[in-house]
Amino acid sequence: MVSESEDSETMKEEKTPKIPVWDLPDVPKGGLPPHLELQRTRVLCTFDAPTHTENFQYSGAYASMGVDNSLRLEEFRSNFRVEVISLTEDDMEFDMIGIDAAIANAFRRILIAELPTMAIEKVLIANNTSVVQDEVLAHRLGLVPLKVDPRLFNYKSENDEPNEKNTIVFKLHVRCERGSSRIKVKSNELKWLPHGSEFILGTEKAAADSTSKTKTYTSFNCSQDSLLEFVNNPIGPKHDDIILAKLGPGQEIELEAHAVKGMGKTHAKWSPVATAWYRMLPEIVFLQEIEDEKAEELVKKCPVRVFDIEDIGKGRKRATVARPRSCTLCRECIRGDDWDKRVALRRVKDHFIFTIESAGALPPEVLFTEAVKILEDKCERVITELS
């Protein structure tokens, strides 16, 4: 008597004919099959979730096919390039091609947290009768971006005296007269004091000797506006219309604000960018020709107008991918009615669209070059320690 399991195995053998080993196709040498090359270089964006998002870092991942997956310096130099797409005073968009996501993310983190800027750190309040508390006002002042090159200043430690090379002093004195309407205190009221603080340090009076100098909160040896860097480029807020407080009749604010050099990893007010982000280059592929009514339907499905229609003659129309960089991966084009069998959404793994929005201290192109220098210094330190 034959059991059911033996009977099923016999049926499988009859349906699947055996193929001798010598009749199997040869494994390609020196190149990857199309499906593996697609997994290695692209992220496939399916209806449910992206797939093949990982990178193959192991050098011997494709050794059986004669493909060396190791990263070689000469190959990196020949493949890597940067293409600037748009550049303005505050914004920059560029493509970084031929790098790994880890390097792109390193640039992003350096831009946000490790590039130094100048920001208000200490606020000396002589009078504040507004409804804004002292600590809230000091916090708002710290977030005002300053138009000054931080590379011209030194870091100030707790033991350092504030001087012309590590401190910038501003004063703000606004009063709303009685009987007048409410006024707005804006960032243009911050006035640069190139000679340093005007507030006398402590409660002691100056000595009677006329040759003695009144002690203030800073000890500047020279005026900052006498330095060549600031003769034609006075220091001040990047934007003059930032509202700091509102004063009612009879209310007054009088203070001094001292700015020092710092980094974003200490506090966000020292971050030189409003934002720095990247995304992989979208790639949209038609798996089959989309014509006539289907082409019009596809164009209407996309909310950012990635697709367009071209006339192919004889009253026929065909869908084309006109603006692939505008794709936001909303997946509307592959939803419903087997559209995922007509359109494929992909992301190129080694092609990143990078965007930098400067807060105003330095232009975005300068910020990126400074980030490159910081990453270079880090790499050199690691190599030195290993050697």
Tell me the average pLDDT across 139-161.
93
pLDDT for 209 equals 47
Q: Do 306 and 253 fall within a single domain?
A: no
Residue 313 confidence (pLDDT):
84
Query: Residue 106 domain-assigned?
Result: no
Decide if pLDDT at 210 tops 60. no
Answer whether residue 6 shows pLDDT above 70. no
CATH code of residue 237: 2.170.120.12
pLDDT reported for residue 49: 87
Q: What does the pLDDT read at residue 265?
A: 95
Between CA 195 and CA 219 the distance in angstroms is 9
**Same domain, yes or no: 153 and 251:** yes
Residue 148, in any domain of the structure: yes
Residues 193 and 299 in one domain: no
Q: Which stretches does DSSP call E strand in 148-269?
A: 168-175, 183-186, 191-192, 236-237, 243-247, 252-262
Domain boundary pick from 262, 280, 315 = 262
Provide the CATH number for the domain around residue 310.
Answer: 3.30.70
Q: What is the mean pLDDT of residues 353-377?
A: 95
* In a shared domain, residues 258 and 296: no
DSSP 8-state class, residue 26: P
User: Is pLDDT above 60 for 203?
Assistant: no
Q: Is the pLDDT of residue 213 over 70?
A: no
Residues 217 and 337 placed together within one structural domain of the fold: no
Cβ neighbours of residue 340 closer than 8 Å, sequence gap 6 or more: 46, 47, 334
| Structure confidence at residue 5 as a pLDDT band (50, 70, 90) | low
Regarding whether 295 and 252 lie in a shared domain, the answer is: no
User: Do 334 and 249 share a domain, yes or no?
Assistant: no
- Number of domains making up the chain: 2
165 shares its domain with 201? yes
Q: In what order do the strands lie in the sheet with 252-262?
A: 117-128, 252-262, 168-175, 191-192
Residue 292 lies in a domain: yes
* pLDDT, position 9: 53
Residue 4 lies in a domain: no
pTM exceeding the 0.85 threshold for the entire prediction: no
Q: What range does the domain containing 225 cover?
A: 131-262
The residue from 199, 227, 262 where one domain ends is 262
Residue 15 has pLDDT above 70, yes or no: no
**Domain annotation covers residue 21:** no
Instruction: Give the residue, 29 or 249, on which the prediction is more confident.
Output: 249
SS percent in the chain: helix, strand, coil, step 5? 30, 30, 40
Mind listing the pLDDT tens digit for each residue in 268-297?
A: 999 999 999 999 999 999 999 999 899 999
Q: What is the CA radius of gyration of the chain?
A: 32
- Are 144 and 248 part of one and the same domain? yes
For residue 208, pLDDT beyond 50: no
pLDDT in tens, 158-193: 889 999 999 999 999 999 999 899 999 999 999 999
Both 215 and 145 in a single domain? yes
386 within domain boundaries: no
Write out the E strands in 52-90. Answer: 81-87
Residues 163 and 197 in one domain: yes
pLDDT digit string, tens, across residues 18-62: 767 566 556 556 678 888 888 889 999 988 889 888 888 788 888
Instruction: Read off the pLDDT of residues 290-331 as tens digits, 9 standing for 90 and up.
Output: 998 999 999 999 999 999 999 888 888 999 999 999 999 999
**What are the angstrom distances between the C-alpha of 338 and each of 35, 47, 294, 299, 335?**
21, 11, 12, 16, 7
307 and 209 co-located in one domain: no
Residue 93 lies in a domain: no
- Greater pLDDT, 65 or 181: 181
% of the chain with per-residue pLDDT over 70: 90
Please report which confidence band the pLDDT of residue 3 belongs to, taking 50, 70 and 90 as the band edges: low
Mean pLDDT (the chain) is 88
370-379's contacts with Cβ under 8 Å and 24+ in sequence apart are: 370/115, 371/107, 371/110, 371/111, 371/114, 371/115, 372/107, 374/110, 374/114, 374/115, 375/106, 375/107, 375/110
Q: How confident is the model at residue 214 (pLDDT cuts 50, 70, 90)?
A: confident
Q: Mark which of 262, 279, 308 sits at the end of a domain.
A: 262
Task: Give the pLDDT score at 151.
Answer: 93
CA 339 to chain CA mean position, Å:
34
Residue 65 lies in a domain: no
